[in-house]
Chains A and B, each alone.
Chain A
Amino acid sequence: ETGVTQTPRHLVMGMTNKKSLKCEQHLGHNAMYWYKQSAKKPLELMFVYSLEERVENNSVPSRFSPECPNSSHLFLHLHTLQPEDSALYLCASSQGDSALYEQYFGPGTRLTVT
């Protein structure tokens, strides 16, 4: 247990559905991250939030919409996804957003878009 939980662990959705992924950290951290892990590709950073403000958005399509209502919770809202969006979505948190701080990862949500 890393102190970062993600729900659901598995999600199957159609291309016209709307769903949300949830991440919660119990570590008192100030920075939270969404990563996408696709088969045979490097882990891709999607979004970074620091003190509930988005500090990085790595050219992610608008069908992915993050929300950080407080420093403990991070959501990823999904709508009109494509089959190539099927992947493992990992959430992470760290004490701050600089390299000095270790990132703690959640177990991920395995998303399948049909």
Chain B
Amino acid sequence: GEDVEQSLFLSVREGDSSVINCTYTDSSSTYLYWYKQEPGAGLQLLTYIFSNMDMKQDQRLTVLLNKKDKHLSLRIADTQTGDSAIYFCAEKPQAGTALIFGKGTTLSVSS
């Protein structure tokens, strides 16, 4: 099957690191993505990783991919209140054009 699983909520304090986890099932997935959705807005692509990589860093964001366990994580360093949003993990299977999304993790950052 094609399922992407994420925990629904994460709460952190400002300045701490946030780690959002995701598991997927399709081992043929070529790309894996993290999208951010702020209240009242559409999805914004934060970062993506190609399936032959195991880590990608982009400023405060670090993506780790464990292809053996089909586990993807997004680490946000020095989390700010502006990072409060819903974060969606998505995979792109080799077949078809569709992205398969998880249900999203709501990140709440308190000051």
Q: Which residues from chain A sit less than 8 Å from chain B, CB to CB?
A: 2, 4, 6, 31, 40-43, 45, 48, 50, 55-56, 58, 90, 92, 97-99, 102-108
Contact = CB atoms under 8 A, between A and B. Distances in A.
Contacts of B100: 42
26 contacts: A4-B42, A31-B97, A42-B100, A42-B101, A42-B102, A42-B103, A42-B104, A43-B43, A43-B99, A43-B101, A45-B98, A50-B97, A58-B98, A90-B42, A92-B42, A97-B97, A99-B92, A102-B45, A102-B48, A103-B43, A103-B45, A104-B45, A105-B43, A107-B40, A108-B41, A108-B42
B92 A43 contact: no
Nearest to B92: A99
Given A43-B88, A99-B92, A2 B97 contact: no
Nearest to B4: A42
B99 A40 contact: no
B96 interface: yes
B53 to A, nearest CB: 14
Sorted from nearest, which 8 A-B pairs have the closest CB atoms?
A105-B42, A43-B101, A99-B92, A105-B43, A45-B98, A99-B31, A97-B97, A107-B42
